[in-house]
Structure formats: C-alpha cells, structure tokens
Chain A
Amino acid sequence: QTVVTQEPSLTVSPGGTVTLTCASSTGAVTSASYPNWFQQKPGQAPRALIYSTNIKHSWTPARFSGSLLGGKAALTLSGVQPEDEAEYYCLVHDGRTYVFGTGTKVSVL
C-alpha cells in the first residue's frame, strides 16, 4: 500500500511564507499523480484548494500556490494570515485509486 508522507507540523509567523511537501513511498510525485491539496479546520469538512498540481479553485486565495519540488508535490502559503491555521492534506492518484497524505498541521504564531 502506497504511503504518502507530509510534515506533521509547521509553524509560521503572520505575513510569512511556508512550504508544505507531499512525498510518495513509490517514487517521485509528478504531474501524472495529479496532486490535490485540501484545507481542513476543526469540526469542518475538508475544502479543496489546489488540483492537478497547481490549479486553484475560484475560492482559493491567491496566497496559496501548488508546485512540484524535488520529486514531491508542494503547497506554498505566502503572506500567511491567521485564518490559514489549519490541517492541510495532499491527495495523489495511485493506479486506479487515490491516497491522502498524512497531513500537516500549520500553526500561525
């Protein structure tokens, strides 16, 4: 079973920049993995942010961006706001199924 690993937690100051990564146990994450990114706040359902590596939804703030970085998918938050404090999950295509990453808790302090 494929395991997709993310940083357990990251801390960033308001206005700062932070990059989250998403790595697969089976090898490099590529555009063919169609990496997606989701944000989840306590007590809420996840919300889609980024799909197909770097495409934003209409509701995704401009400060969020997706990319590929050294064989991993990456989500960069630039100019972080207090409301960005949340859990972030990646989701990658794996054969005929999908696998969520382990999640990254982003704290804004």
Chain B
Amino acid sequence: EVQLVESGGGLVQPGGSLRLSCAASGFTFSTSWMTWVRQTPGKGLEWVANIDPDGSSQNYVDSLKGRFTIFRDNAKNSVYLLMNSLTVGDTAVYYCARDLIWGDLDIWGQGTMVTVSP
C-alpha cells in the first residue's frame, strides 16, 4: 500500500525545537522529491520546503529559511523536518507529500499536529 506516515508532533514551548519524521512505503522513495506542507488551524495550506531524491538540494519558503531544515535518509525511506526557534505562529498540522512532478503532490500523509504554547 502506498502511504506516508508522519510522526513527531506534539506540544513544545516557544523557542524550542522539534523534529518531524515521515516514513514512506509502497513506492520508490529514493527517486522521489519530497515536500512538507503545513496548515494552521482553520486556515489555508502553506508550502514549507522540498528536497530532491538524493538529498543534495533543498528549497524553503523565504519566511522559514534558517529556522527549518529538511533532510532525508533513503536507507530508512524517511524524510524529516527539523524546526528550531519555534513560535506560536508555527502551530499547525504538518503534512509530508510526494512531489511527482512540478508540484503534483500526489501522495499525502495524514499529518502531525505541532502546538507551540507556553
């Protein structure tokens, strides 16, 4: 079965860090671009970052550059999002998705909730 399963969300204090994981199965992960998308409660979607198949190239939305890092481990069929200096504004559901081609996010995980609160 083709699926993505995110984990690592939870409650964190402002200024803290969190690492999200996304485990892939059912498709060839090592040849796939992967993307992180977030959705603040009751609001719209925000494209966060993507990474190329061998992990050598990453792209980030300007507003998060320097605080968030996307990386992957193809041996574990997993992609990660390291989030530092978290603020209340980072509270959201974080989804990972496969980018088949030019933003065609054809496979999505169920999402993991990150809550940043004192």
Contact = CB atoms under 8 A, between A and B. Distances in A.
Contacts of B110: 45
Interface residues of A, number: 24
Nearest to A50: B104
B62 A1 contact: yes
Interface in B61-118: 61-63, 95, 100-106, 108-111
Contacts of A101: 44
B45 interface: yes
A92 B44 contact: no
Given A97-B59, A97-B60, A51 B45 contact: no
Given A45-B110, A96-B59, A97-B59, A36 B45 contact: no
B27 interface: no
Contacts of A34: 102-103
Nearest to A96: B59
A38 B44 contact: no
Contacts of B102: 34, 36, 51-52, 93
A103 B106 CA distance: 18
Interface string A43-59: 00111100110000100
Contacts of B104: 36, 48, 51-52
A97 B104 CA distance: 13
A97 B45 contact: no
19 contacts: A1-B62, A1-B63, A34-B102, A34-B103, A36-B105, A38-B45, A45-B111, A46-B108, A47-B108, A52-B104, A57-B106, A89-B44, A89-B45, A91-B45, A91-B47, A91-B105, A93-B103, A99-B47, A103-B44
